[in-house]
Amino acid sequence: MEKNDGSTGERQRVAQLQLFHQPRQGKKLLVLDIDKTIYDCTCSNIYRRTRPYLHQLLEESFKYYDICLWSLTDMNTVKFKVNTMNIGNSSDFKILFYMDATFSEMVMKQKPIITKPLSKIWNVLDQYGPTNTIICDDNPDNLVQNPKNGILVAPYYFKNFSTDKELQYLQNYLKYLSEAEDVRKVDHKKWKEIEMKLRK
């Protein structure tokens, strides 16, 4: 498996990840963004903050992936949202770890942008690497450093709660992707086209 060799300081920083469970042998890693991907914090109705089909997505994906959550907020806010979504202590799936804004990285493009470099994980947990890690996010900036590992999903707005099926489609695609030897060899820009064909 390919992996990045980080500096000692980098390893010490990312080693602060709190693992709630042990990584499972042979599983790929699914990195899920929180805000606007699976959660809308602007909703006053707590139930509708959670994107429809989230629990089904996590339960099905857990068969093939270890799962982590990454948000560009602080860790206390991450934990609050996890509790609100009721996904922290399920018997049907396990969240391996959480990541917050301290693990993000600024890069210069036309302007400075905040990104989520997957090397922050690979440099510490070497069972995961470019071939077996996928990140799902609604913000393309977060995927800039690992474009071939990223799935761009439509943002979630609670006003669409009754009709939103994005995670149902994503669940189907992730099951399909779990069979790939190298997730980078699948064109994730076409993930919805692929998923639609799977349903036919």
pLDDT in tens, 109-152: 778 889 999 999 999 999 999 999 999 999 999 999 999 999 99
Distances (CA, A) of 71 to 32, 49, 63, 83, 188: 8, 15, 23, 14, 21
Tokens standing for 70? 């990454």
How many residues make up the chain in this entry? 200
Q: Is 151:173 a contact under the CB 8 Å cutoff?
A: yes
pLDDT in tens, 148-167: 999 999 999 999 999 999 99
Domains of the chain as residue ranges with CATH: 8-199 (3.40.50.1000)
